[in-house]
Amino acid sequence: MNQRFFAFRGAAAVAIAVVLVAPIRAAGQTPSAKEPTAAPNVTPKKAAPSPKRWVPPRTSDGQPDLQGIWDYRTITPLERPRELGTKEFFTDEEAANYEKKENQRQNRDLIDPEQGGLFYPPGGVVPYNEFWYDRGDKVSGTKRTSLIVDPPDGRLPAWTPEGQKEASRRAAAQRNDQLGHPLADSWEDRPLQERCLVGLNAGPPMVPGAYNNDVQLFETPGYVAILNEMVHSARIVHLDGHPHGSIRQWKGDSVGHWEGDTLVVDTTNFNRETSLDGSSANTHLVERFTRTGPNTLLYEFTVDDPTMWTRPWTAVVPMTKSDDPIYEYACHEANYAMTGILAGARAADKAAEDATEKRTK
């Protein structure tokens, strides 16, 4: 983890530099040595003005080649901080300030448990120290103030009454966790991510998170595979045009097609909620993957879940190419935390019982 962590930082810095200069340089760049040797069917024009004009290489069967390992770490929040109102992009200076402030605020080692910080209340429990985090420390390449681009205020739309109920339940549960007395009568009280049933940021949809923000795309005739490092989640997307079946799954059922150079993946049939906080089994997810340059890929997704949100919403997550391989993430196999959480809760029950007994005697 350590090696990976440092290797990653270097790679990310380079990648972000590439993103920042992309609008000017992208057109002139030739594919790196790691690119497949199959010749692109269109030679990039010299003076293409925007990265949108960059034409991705083709796989040997002629599809746009999105393959590679993509890093989607960023410190850009999903929702725009309220104080930024309708401001969609940071200036360079504002971005630097935001990064500095957020990296400080999110650093677990700088939180004094007595005083609280981030979302930890005073006297609460800060479970992981900073060593374990591998979140992005830079805002995304375009310096957006939020990953959400629609609604235009960069924030999740209003909850439906059902969504509000669930949001309140979740907020109360999180509060209890942070105060150190989690609700854990059984493992079923714990979120899917803690049970390793779905991956925190593996999605679908993929939303940058605390660590393991890596995904590898594979293309074979008729299929695209989306392999997330987080909880070794592999999604196999059919491109043969067959409709969604009737089987519900934790990761839903994904079918895909090409719209020009963009891969569009349509997912329904979720089992219950998705890995997204607040979503329901009724989620209809549409993801779009577009390569915007030799080392950049734009990932966009639209969530339509009329059970929970009053309108659909859309987010964009720029990804950068990584040379680091995807490693095994054996989540369930080493889920000692679940045993710890349940055993801790039973010990707390026992202590409370003993205290009651003492009082009544």
Partner 1 sequence: MQNWFRSAIFGSVGAAFIAILWQGVVPVAAHGQAVQAYRAPRTADGKPDLNGIWEALNTANWDIQDHAARMGPVVSLGAAFSIPAGRGVVEGNEIPYLPEAAAKKKENAEKWLNSDPEIKCYLPGVPRATYMPYPFQILQTPQHILMVYEFAGATRTIYMNSKLKSPNDTWMGWSIGHWEGDTLVVDVTSFNDQTWFDRAGNFHSDALHVVERYTRISPDAIDYEVTIEDPKVFSRPWKMRMPLYRRLEKDAQLLEYQCIEFAEELLYGPLRKQPSK
Binding site for partner 1 (CB under 8 A): 3-4, 36, 59-61, 67, 185-187, 195-197, 216, 218-221, 223, 225, 227, 232-234, 236, 238, 242, 245, 247, 249-251, 325-328, 330, 332-333, 338-339, 342-343, 345-346, 349, 353
Q: 161 phi and psi, to 5 degrees?
A: -55, -40
Place of tokens 């339509």: 304
In the bound complex, what is the minimum distance in angstroms from residue 342's beta carbon to partner 1? 4
Cα 225 → chain centroid = 17
- Cα separation of 340 and 53, whole Å? 53
Other residues' Cβ atoms within 10 Å of the Cβ of residue 138 = 21
Amino acid type, 325: P
* Shortest distance (Å) from residue 42 CB to partner 1: 19
The 3-state DSSP class for residue 189 equals helix
| Helix, strand or coil, per DSSP, at residue 36 | coil
| Residue 35 vs 162, nearer CB to partner 1 | 35
C-alpha span between 278 and 62 (Å, rounded): 39
- CB 218 to partner 1: min, Å: 5
Nearest distance from C-beta of residue 79 to partner 1, angstroms: 29
Query: Is 157 in contact with 306 (CB distance < 8 Å)?
Result: no
Q: 191 CB contacts (<8 Å, ≥6 apart)?
A: none
Least Cβ distance, residue 227 to partner 1 (angstroms): 6
For the chain, the C-alpha Rg in angstroms (whole number) is 22
**Distances from the Cα of 264 to the Cα of 41, 88, 258, 302, angstroms:** 21, 25, 6, 11
Nearest to partner 1 of 163, 199 (CB atom): 199
Other CB atoms within 10 Å distance of the CB of residue 198: 25
CA 337 to CA 51: how far, in whole Å? Answer: 44
Q: Which residue number, 174 or 216, has a Cβ lying nearer to partner 1?
A: 216
Whole-number minimum distance, CB 225 to partner 1, in Å?
Answer: 5
Query: Minimum Å distance from CB 232 to partner 1?
Result: 5
Q: Identify the DSSP state of 174.
A: H
Shorter beta-carbon distance to partner 1: residue 131 or 187: 187
DSSP 156: P
Q: Which residue lies nearer to partner 1 by CB, 74 or 201?
A: 201
Planar angle of CA 237, 334, 171, nearest 5 degrees:
75
Q: Which one, 229 or 305, has the nearer CB to partner 1?
A: 229
Of 173 and 345, which has the nearer Cβ to partner 1? 345
Least distance (Å) between residue 29 CB and partner 1:
21
Which of 49/340 has CB closer to partner 1?
Answer: 340
Token pair 């448990």: residue: 113
